[in-house]
Amino acid sequence: MDPVSILLGGFASGMVLFIVSVGLSVTMGLMGFVNLAHGGFAMLGGYVIVLAMKHWGFSFLPSLALAFVAVALFAVVLERLLYVRLYRASELDQVLFTIGLVFVMTAAVTLGVGPETQVVQLPDWLRGQSDLGFIKYRTYSLALIAAGTALVIALWLGFERTRFGARIRAAVDNRRMAQSLGMDVGRLFAVTFAIGSGLAAVGGGLGAEILGLDPNYPLRYLVYFLIVVSVGGLGRVTGVFFAALLIGVLDFVFKIYFPKGGTIFIYVLTLILLLWRPQGIFGKRGA
Amino acid sequence: MSAATQLARRHRFRWWELLPWAAGIAVFFVFPNYLSFATQVLITILFALSLDLVLGYAGIVTLGHAAFFGAGAYTVGMMAMHWGWNEPISGLLAAALVAGAIGLASGLVLLRTHGLTLLMLTLCTMTLLEQAANMGAAWTGGFDGMPGLSFAKILGLFGFDALYFRSQYLYALAVLFLCFVIQRMLVYSSFGQSLTGIRENLLRMHAVGAPVRARQVLAYTVSAALAGVAGALFTQANGYVNLAVLGLERSAGVMIVLILGGYGRLYGAFVGATAYMVLEHVLAKAYPTAWQLGLGLTLVAVALFARNGIIGIVDSLRRRLAGSAR
Amino acid sequence: MLETKGLCRSFGALEVAREIDFRLERGARHALIGPNGAGKTTFVNLLTGVLPPSRGNVLLEGEDVTTFAQAKRVKRGIARTFQINQLFRGLTVQENVCIAVSERLGVGGSMLRPAGKRADVIEEASRLIGMLKLGEDAGRRIVELPYGRQRLVEIAIALGLNPRVLLLDEPAAGIPSAESYILLDAIATLPKDIAVLIIEHDMDLVFRFAKRITVLVSGAIFAEGTPTEIAANREVRSVYLGSALDA
Give A 110-169 residues with CB within 8 A of chain B: 110-111, 115
* Residue contact B128–A264, C-beta within 8 A: yes
pLDDT of residue C243: 45
Nearest-angstrom CA–CA distance, B61 and B259: 12
CA distance B81 to chain A (A): 22
Q: What is the pLDDT along chain A (287 residues), one digit of tens a residue?
A: 688 888 888 999 999 999 999 999 988 888 888 899 999 999 999 999 999 998 888 888 899 999 999 999 999 999 999 998 998 888 899 999 999 999 999 999 999 998 888 888 888 888 888 877 777 888 888 888 999 999 999 998 888 888 888 888 777 777 667 777 777 778 888 999 999 999 999 999 888 888 889 999 998 899 889 999 999 888 888 899 999 999 999 988 888 887 776 788 889 888 888 888 888 887 766 54
Per the prediction, chain C carries an average pLDDT of 87
Domain range for A31 is 3-217
pLDDT of residue B23: 93
Contact A34, A95 (CB under 8 A): yes
Q: Is A202 a domain residue?
A: yes
pLDDT of residue A287: 40
Q: In 10 A of CB C182, how many CB atoms?
A: 18
Q: Is A106 a domain residue?
A: yes
pLDDT of residue A199: 93
Say yes or no: C123 contacts chain B, CB-CB below 8 A: yes
Contact A244, A285 (CB under 8 A): no
Size of chain C, expressed as the number of residues it contains = 247
Say yes or no: B322 contacts chain C, CB-CB below 8 A: no
Helix (H, G, I), strand (E, B) or coil at C114: strand
Q: Is A131 a domain residue?
A: yes
Going by the DSSP 8-state scheme, the letter that residue B146 receives in this structure is B
* Residue contact B128–A103, C-beta within 8 A: no
Tell the burial category of C153 from Cβ atoms under 10 Å away from its Cβ (0-12, 13-18, 19+).
buried
Q: Over pLDDT 70: what percentage of chain C?
A: 97
| Cβ neighbours of A111 in B, within 8 Å | 289-290, 293
Chain B residues whose C-beta sits inside 8 Å of any chain A C-beta: 55, 61, 63, 109-110, 112-113, 115-117, 119-121, 123-125, 127-128, 131-132, 134-135, 137, 248-249, 252, 255-256, 259, 263, 289-290, 292-293, 295-304, 307
Say yes or no: B56 contacts chain C, CB-CB below 8 A: no
From the list C92, C99, C161, the residue facing B194 with the nearest CB is C99
Per-residue pLDDT reduced to its tens digit, C102-130: 999 999 889 998 988 889 999 999 999 99
For residue A33, which amino acid is it? F
- Strands, E assignment, C159-242: 165-169, 195-199, 212-217, 220-225
From the list B116, B128, B137, the residue facing A34 with the nearest CB is B116
Q: Is A270 a domain residue?
A: no
Chains that touch B (3 or more CB pairs under 8 A): A, C
Per-residue pLDDT reduced to its tens digit, B212-236: 999 999 999 999 999 999 999 999 9
Mean pLDDT calculated for residue range B300-322? 89
Select from C86, C141, C159, C167 the residue whose CB has the most chain B CBs within 10 Å, as the one to mutate to test that interface: C86
Residues 6+ apart with CB under 8 A from C110: B189, B190, B191
From the list A28, A93, A107, the residue facing B116 with the nearest CB is A28
pLDDT at B133 over 60: yes
**Considering only CA atoms, which of A13, A243, A244, A2 is closest in space to residue A145?**
A13
Helix (H, G, I), strand (E, B) or coil at C198: strand
Q: What is the second-level CATH architecture of the domain C1-77+163-247?
A: 3-Layer(aba) Sandwich (3.40)
Among chain B residues, CA nearest to C102 = B190
Q: Is A277 a domain residue?
A: no
Helix (H, G, I), strand (E, B) or coil at C49: coil
| Cβ neighbours of A240 in B, within 8 Å | none
Nearest-angstrom CA–CA distance, B35 and B31: 7
Domain count, chain A: 1
CA-based torsion, C138, C140, C146, C147: positive or negative:
positive
- Ranges of each domain in chain B: 29-325
- Ranges of each domain in chain C: 1-77+163-247, 85-162
Say yes or no: A81 contacts chain B, CB-CB below 8 A: no
CATH fit for domain B29-325, picks 2.60.40, 1.10.3470, 3.60.21, 2.20.28: 1.10.3470
Say yes or no: B190 contacts chain C, CB-CB below 8 A: yes
Say yes or no: A263 contacts chain B, CB-CB below 8 A: yes
Say yes or no: A185 contacts chain B, CB-CB below 8 A: no
| Cβ neighbours of B12 in C, within 8 Å | 116
Q: Is A287 a domain residue?
A: no
